[in-house]
Homo-oligomer: A and B are copies of this chain.
């Protein structure tokens, strides 16, 4: 069962300090119980999300943008699949962002993501996002430093505009430890059905683990805002990661006080022959 620790424990306050990896990745402060109890609880949360999404869709006034970032094997695909499993697919869109194409690189870095933001009544989940254009560019030294340094302010301004125009923004960093990544990469190597998910280049990123952690800490500290906060979610345990993200989504959706649209006719006036 849930403890009385709020899921806001994982929310990064503006100008808050962030430390990734290590102990945080295995934290389980909001839930008092093991995997089995956690999976059972997840069933309840999925029902809640389902109901909330129904109102969101019917009301057609709010937009929800969920941004998911993590290191390789961090669990982005699994988390997105599990947390939104009960949603009506008509109202939810998963948008994976890969390495930018030539056409995308011929535009500003927000061009391709802005095209995919949610419209009224919809949830859009970014599986990777505009944050790669800071993180990957910085760690892999793809452009000169001034470019990614300027982009902190660009994303803050962009998300502020989205939020003030009516989009709720939930930014999730799935925090796994370096040891957990090793196990997950090994599992991919050991299972031929998972070979397609293994990319030898991932090892190059793993070799720069420290650089990535430092860049992510910097990024999350600089771009967690009142209107678009980051949540650093312990992700070494997949079941725990899922209930945390589900709880975050539920709490943010509840704050919107969504309503089914009012009808402008009286039920008692309608007769069905």
A141 within 8 A of partner (CB): no
> Closest chain B residue to A113 by CB distance?
B114
Identical subunits present: 2
A5 within 8 A of partner (CB): no
Q: How far is the CA of A105 from the CA of B22 in the complex (A)?
A: 45
Contacts of A162 in B (CB 8 A): 108
Contacts of A166 in B (CB 8 A): 108
Contacts of A109 in B (CB 8 A): 165
**Which residues of A (100-159) have their CB < 8 Å from a CB of B?**
103, 106-111, 114-115, 117, 119-121, 150, 154, 157-158
CB of A222 to closest CB in B, whole Å? 16
Contacts of A167 in B (CB 8 A): 108
B150 near A154 (CB under 8 angstroms)? no
> Closest chain B residue to A162 by CB distance?
B108
A201 within 8 A of partner (CB): no
> Closest chain B residue to A107 by CB distance?
B119
A161 within 8 A of partner (CB): yes
Known: A157-B160, A161-B154. A117 touches B108 (CB 8 A): yes
A269 within 8 A of partner (CB): no
Residues of A within 8 A of B (CB): 60, 63, 103, 106-111, 114-115, 117, 119-121, 150, 154, 157-158, 160-162, 164-167
Beyond the given A107-B117, A154-B161, please list 11 additional residue pairs across the A-B interface where CB-CB is below 8 A: A63-B107, A103-B119, A106-B119, A107-B119, A108-B117, A108-B167, A109-B165, A110-B165, A111-B115, A115-B115, A154-B165
Q: List 12 A-B residue pairs with CB atoms under 8 Å apart, sorted by A's residue number.
A: A107-B117, A107-B120, A108-B167, A109-B165, A110-B165, A114-B115, A115-B115, A154-B160, A157-B157, A157-B158, A157-B160, A158-B161
